[in-house]
């Protein structure tokens, strides 16, 4: 990952709790800018999920479904999938100025 993009991810993580946690979760899930670590991805998705972000809930559910970073648990996966499905998508938007600071 180019340094500039990594720097922007770090800014978002600090300035937008929840959204930043989702982005960090993606980094650990995919190994972009961080060493791939499913357990850490689950921790960041759980933070976002517990703050009410549907994307965090869905991704945490997926990790439980697949047994990546957490013990495989279909019941727990379904719990998070249903929570995510029953919420409206977040209205949080990121302005371009977030990246300019």
Tell me what the mean pLDDT of segment 76-91 comes to.
86
Q: Per-residue pLDDT tens for 27-72?
A: 999 998 899 999 999 999 999 999 999 999 999 999 999 999 999 9
Confidence check: pLDDT of 101 > 50: no
Domain assignment present for residue 45? The answer is yes
What is residue 63's predicted lDDT score, i.e. its pLDDT? 98
**pTM, full prediction:** 0.79
CATH code, 80: 1.25.40.10
pLDDT, mean over the chain: 84
Domain assignment present for residue 101? The answer is no
Contacts of 29 (CB under 8 A, 6+ apart): 36, 38, 41, 59, 63
Domain assignment present for residue 29? The answer is yes
Domain count, the chain: 1
Q: In which band, very low, low, confident or very high, does the pLDDT at 10 lie, cut at 50, 70 and 90?
A: confident
CA distance 50 to 33: 25
């Amino acid at each position: 990952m180019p340094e500039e993009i990594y720097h922007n991810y770090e800014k978002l993580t600090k300035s937008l709790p929840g959204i930043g946690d989702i982005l960090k979760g993606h980094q650990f899930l995919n190994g972009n800018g961080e060493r791939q670590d499913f357990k850490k991805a689950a921790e960041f998705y759980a933070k976002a999920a517990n703050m009410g972000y549907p994307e965090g809930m869905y991704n945490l559910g997926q990790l439980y479904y697949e047994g990546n970073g957490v013990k495989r648990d279909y019941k727990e996966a379904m719990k998070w999938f249903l929570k995510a499905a029953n919420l409206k998508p977040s209205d949080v938007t990121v302005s371009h100025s977030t990246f300019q600071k």
